[in-house]
């Protein structure tokens, strides 16, 4: 019997100058060839800090990258979770159209559940929105508002590059995202969304914080985070442990 493998990556921030993702493309390709399921956990592309001159050009390059990914292993089911840096409305429309042409590519705006394992991007941590019936709608509005802001001028790109070279961004990420804050907020969200430990979730994979985390136990669940493919930040491709004995069919995403 063929061994099933699932891999998870997030926060590649492709097309941003500070992304280190192009250097690990071979590793991503190898993991994809070995996978039956591959989860892209959001912020795969970075529209706000893209080196391309327009959103339209970034969208075109994003679709080209995704088509290349599908071609590497057409038998692999690829799940795309949106993040806050790739929630560009034009890209979302193009992504939905792409999934019609490539049924092995599936789009999820907020959350994905596979058996006892739940995936999300993680920007709910910073959303400052109460968990209510319209939470996802408000989150989408927040994401869209961020993406529709004016693109940063050149000097802001230069300042960001300096922060990366001096690793100030790493210090900020560590200070802003303590485990207690992050895991507490994610756990609250999962329970609100019906994917908490009481529903059978045992493992949670998320991104956004740019802090690597491996199987940290909290509230009866184990949390993992790949970090971010940004210069000076720890990053890894995570092989996901799906419990085959307790796995249930794929559940619709929220």
Q: What is the pLDDT of residues 121-173, one digit of tens each?
A: 999 999 889 999 999 999 999 999 987 776 665 545 455 555 555 555 555 55
Q: Return the pLDDT at 171.
A: 52
Min mean pLDDT across 62-66, 114-118, 245-249 is at 245-249
pLDDT of residue 169: 52
Domain range 6-240, CATH class: alpha beta
Look at residue 215 and tell me whether its pLDDT is greater than 70: yes
* pLDDT, average across residues 3-8: 86
Q: Is 119 helix (H, G, I), strand (E, B) or coil?
A: strand
Based on the number of CB atoms within 10 Å of its own CB, is 82 exposed (0-12), middle (13-18) or buried (19 or more)?
buried
For residue 178, the model assigns a pLDDT of 76
The answer on pLDDT for 184 being more than 70 is yes
pLDDT at 78 (0 to 100)? 98
Which pTM value belongs to this model? 0.87
C-alpha 69: how far from chain center: 16
Residue 141: both structure tokens together? 């509005």
Mean pLDDT of the residues in the chain: 87
Q: Angle, nearest 10°, between helix axes 55-72 and 25-33? A: 40
């Amino acid at each position: 019997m063929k061994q099933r493998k699932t891999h998870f990556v997030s926060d590649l921030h492709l097309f941003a100058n500070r992304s280190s993702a192009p250097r690990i493309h071979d590793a991503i390709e190898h993991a994809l060839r070995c996978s039956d399921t591959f989860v892209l956990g959001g912020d795969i592309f970075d529209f706000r800090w893209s080196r391309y001159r327009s959103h339209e050009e970034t969208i075109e390059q994003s679709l080209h990258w995704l088509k290349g990914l599908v071609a590497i292993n057409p038998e692999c089911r690829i799940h795309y979770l949106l993040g806050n840096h790739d929630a560009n409305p034009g890209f979302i429309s193009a992504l939905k159209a792409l999934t019609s042409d490539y049924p092995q590519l599936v789009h999820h705006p907020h959350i994905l559940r596979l058996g006892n394992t739940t995936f999300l991007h993680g920007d709910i941590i910073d959303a400052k929105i109460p968990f209510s019936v319209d939470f996802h709608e408000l989150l989408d509005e927040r994401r869209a508002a961020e993406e529709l802001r004016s693109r940063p001028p050149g000097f802001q790109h230069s300042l960001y590059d300096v922060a990366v070279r001096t690793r100030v961004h790493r210090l900020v990420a560590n200070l802003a995202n303590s485990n207690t804050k992050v895991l507490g907020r994610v756990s609250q969200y999962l329970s609100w969304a019906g994917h908490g430990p009481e529903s059978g979730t045992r493992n949670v994979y998320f991104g956004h914080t740019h802090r690597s985390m491996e199987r940290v136990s909290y509230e009866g669940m184990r949390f993992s985070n790949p970090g971010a493919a940004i210069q000076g930040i720890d990053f890894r491709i995570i092989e996901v442990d799906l419990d085959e004995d307790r796995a249930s069919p794929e559940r619709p995403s929220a």
